[in-house]
Chains A and B, each alone.
Chain A
Amino acid sequence: MAAASVSSIWSVVLHRLMAVIPTVLFGTILIFGLVQIIPGGAAEEAAGPEASAEAIAVLREEMGLNRPLHVQYLSWLGNAIRGDLGRSLTDRRNIAKAITERLPLTIELTVIALILSLLIGIPLGVLSAINRHNRIDAAVTSVSGLGLALPEFWLAMLAVNLFALKLGWFPATGVPSVELGWHEHIQSLVLPSLTLASGAAAAITRFTRSGMLEALSSSYIRTAWALGLSPAQIFFRFALKNALIPLVTVIGIITSSLFGGAVLVESVFVIPGLGTMLVTAVLQKDYPTVQSVALVLTVVFVMISLVVDIGCAVLDPRTRR
């Protein structure tokens, strides 16, 4: 029995890993293809409207646009796999190096926000479910509804205004790296991670609430009540455990949405993460950088959904198809 379950988990992992490869390849083709359809050509766009014909020719050569499309794609992919993402069109920096400098901060911000949103969302959802249809439930539901409708960057602006500029409790801007001091690093992450977590916390509250309500209405809980178990045991030992399984399946989507939110929150707090890098590159039409960030994010998102899939398979054998 034990042996069978172990092997089936590994086969699930293997199966999912195999499924990742076409997804990533599909992503790379999309990302590569996007730059090909730029109206007027990528070199012309990058060179700007004032560029001379020679400048465009030089740039075409440098960007390797004179070769057949499939050769360009394969060499781009090959370089990317070797960790060579080329150089930025605007500041000539090594893109791979810039990404490795910036990605950790964005991941850190996202993961902290995820943890915060779970810490806020699950208790609120439980509270709401066990107080179904009374005032507490109504209050939690209104707050989570507001949380879903608030743009995080606006919340961030308000937080900067109140907690940084008026009260002076937290820094208004930036996240100094650990080398500049742990204390400062941690303190400066508070406002960005809390504001980023607001939407996710609201979503998790609602998921937990509906998961709890569904669990509480199920037959085994009715049986538990009938057996005279204590409410605490019923709520936390049985209902919550089952309510959390559907939550795990949406963790992937919540995490990737937090990455999306990080783009805006990083802009408000001027955090040197991947989000601000992407926005700057988009505004400056720095195609190689946009392509590279998109590629790295594809891998990150696919990995997240892989981990979540495997996690689900481990937690809930029914999903091991």
Chain B
Amino acid sequence: MTDTTAARSTHNVDTSEDTPSASIHGWKHLFDGSPGLWLAAVYLLFLAVVALFGPALAPYDPISQNIPNRHAPFSMSHLLGTDEIGRDVASRLMWGARPALLGVVICIVTACAAGIPWGLAAGYLGGRIDQLLMRIVDALLVFPGIILCLVLTTVLGASLTNSMLALGCVYAPSLARVVRSGVLVVRDREFVIITRLYGATAAYRMWRHVLPNAAGPALVKITFLCGSAMLAQTGLSFLGIGIQPPNPSWGQSLAESFRYILVNPGAGIAPGVVVVLTVLSFYRVGDALRDYLAVEA
């Protein structure tokens, strides 16, 4: 988040130069010769399982305190030690997986709900409308996501849902732009023009022919946005804007570890690594999809 989600993701998409995988088809080839991708996929799957069943799997209640046992080191009973009021760090991280992934989902759904129609309209309708819609996209892209998000959450109120809704709105323009370019590629192809001759409505043509062709680039973009959303979400909850205490979240664990950095300097490592692995995995999958689908952003 910090660094521009925009620069990160655009950047990632733009580096598709030298992987000539365009000719490869068939899902089984997606994982060819890429142990990194396997790891990323397995990690995300694991995370999804923890998010769904974490409360049942976690060894301790993430909120129950045990003050005499504060800042306990790694051990068999507390795999990642305990925090400043004796809560089990591993359990808190497991409970934190659910809001983390839920936040990403809320953000992406919002971005799609706003960005896909926006891009379709701009690309398909063209002309003045396209110009106006894209001018707005350009204006919004000038702003770093986190700052727009901070301003929006002031109005909406600090909560996980609100901050991720805001982040979704922030990502919508960049998704709209990708969808628009996908539409422009196919809009004037023969098969679309032919359906028009057969009297298909604009909405039908868009749904049946244009959208599927824009879907590839959009899917790649969305995967990268997942990573960016994860980063942004962690930063926002680090600042105290997001899920509210005592419910655990990864950003909050980082903020708390920083408060006690003098007493327990290692406490920030575990939550930080979990976040970085998640973001890396999303980016890795995004890279692979981009190469597989031979998408030029």
Cβ–Cβ < 8 Å partners of B59 in chain A = none
Q: Which residues of B contact A (CB under 8 A)?
A: 1-8, 10-12, 14-15, 17-18, 135-136, 139, 141-147, 150-155, 157-158, 227, 231, 234-235, 238-241, 254, 257-258, 261-262, 265, 268, 272, 275-276, 279-280, 283
Known pairs A26-B139, A157-B254, A282-B241; A206 contacts B279 (CB<8 A): no
Which A residues are closer than 8 A to B by beta carbons? 22-23, 26-27, 31, 34-35, 37-39, 132, 145-146, 148-154, 157-158, 160-161, 165-166, 196, 198-200, 203, 206-207, 209-210, 213-214, 250, 252-254, 256-261, 263-265, 267-268, 278-279, 281-283, 285, 287, 290, 294, 297-298, 301-302, 304-305
**A260 touching B15 in the complex, CB below 8 Å, given contacts A154-B275, A250-B7:** no
Shortest C-beta distance, A129 to chain B (Å), equals: 10
Looking at A214, A252, A301, the one whose CB has the most chain B CB atoms below 10 A away is A301
Known contacts A199-B3, A256-B142; is-contact A154 B150 (Cβ 8 Å)? no
Asked if A151 and B11 sit within 8 Å, CB to CB, the answer is no
CB distance from B264 to the nearest CB of A (A): 11
| Nearest 7 CB-CB pairings of A with B | A257-B4, A260-B144, A199-B3, A261-B2, A149-B279, A152-B2, A260-B146
Closest Cβ–Cβ distance, residue B83 to chain A (whole Å): 15
CB distance B231 to A151 under 8 Å? Answer: yes
- 19 further interface pairs, Cβ-Cβ under 8 Å (given A146-B280, A151-B2, A213-B18): A35-B155, A149-B280, A151-B234, A151-B272, A154-B276, A161-B261, A203-B3, A203-B4, A206-B14, A206-B15, A207-B15, A250-B10, A253-B141, A257-B4, A257-B7, A261-B2, A267-B238, A282-B154, A283-B158
Q: Which residue of B lies closest to A133 (CB)?
A: B18
Alpha-carbon distance A50/B129, docked complex (angstroms): 48
Closest B residue to A162 by beta carbon equals B265
Q: Is the CB of A214 within 8 A of B280?
A: no
Is A301 a contact partner of B142 (Cβ separation < 8 A)? yes
With contacts A160-B261, A297-B147 known, is A203 near B11, CB below 8 A? yes
User: Known: A149-B227, A157-B258. Is A264-B4 also a contact (CB below 8 A)?
Assistant: no
- If A151-B231, A210-B17, A264-B235 touch, whether A258 touches B261 (CB-CB below 8 Å) is no
Q: Give me 11 A-to-B residue pairs in the complex whose CB atoms sit less than 8 angstroms apart, sorted by A's number.
A: A148-B8, A151-B238, A166-B265, A203-B11, A210-B15, A253-B4, A253-B7, A257-B2, A261-B144, A287-B154, A297-B143
Contact with A253, one of B2, B10, B154 (Cβ below 8 angstroms): B10
Contact between chains at B272 and A257 (CB < 8 Å): no
Cβ distance B281 to chain A, nearest Cβ, rounded Å: 9
Assembled-state Cα–Cα distance A58/B205 (Å): 57
> CA of A150 to CA of B2 in the docked complex: distance in angstroms?
9
B144 touches A151 (CB 8 A): no
Q: Is the CB of B11 within 8 A of A260?
A: no
Q: Looking across the interface, which residue of chain A has its beta carbon closest to that of B268?
A: A157
Residues of A within 8 A of B234 (CB): 151
B265 touches A259 (CB 8 A): no
- Give A200 to B11 CA distance when docked, in angstroms: 10
Taking A253-B6, A260-B145 as contacts, is the C-beta distance between A145 and B152 under 8 angstroms? no
The listed residue with most B CB atoms (<10 A of its CB), out of A146, A257, A264, A279, is A257
Contact B14 A210, beta carbon cutoff 8 Å = yes
Instruction: Name A207's closest neighbour in chain B (CB-CB).
Output: B11
Minimum C-beta distance from B179 to chain A (A): 19
Note all chain A residues with C-beta closer than 8 A to B147: 259-260, 263, 278, 294, 297
CB distance from A31 to the nearest CB of B (A): 7
Which residue from A213, A263, A285 sits with its C-beta under 8 Å from B150? Answer: A263
Measured CB to CB, the closest approach of chain B to A152, in angstroms, equals: 4
User: B150 — nearest CB in chain A belongs to which residue?
Assistant: A282
Distance between Cα atoms of A268 and B251 in the complex (Å): 13
- Chain B residues positioned under 8 Å from A37 (CB to CB): 155
Which residues of A sit under 8 angstroms from B144, Cβ to Cβ?
256-257, 259-261, 301
A42 to chain B minimum Cβ distance, whole angstroms, is 9
- Residues of A with C-beta under 8 A to B142: 23, 252-253, 256, 301-302, 304-305
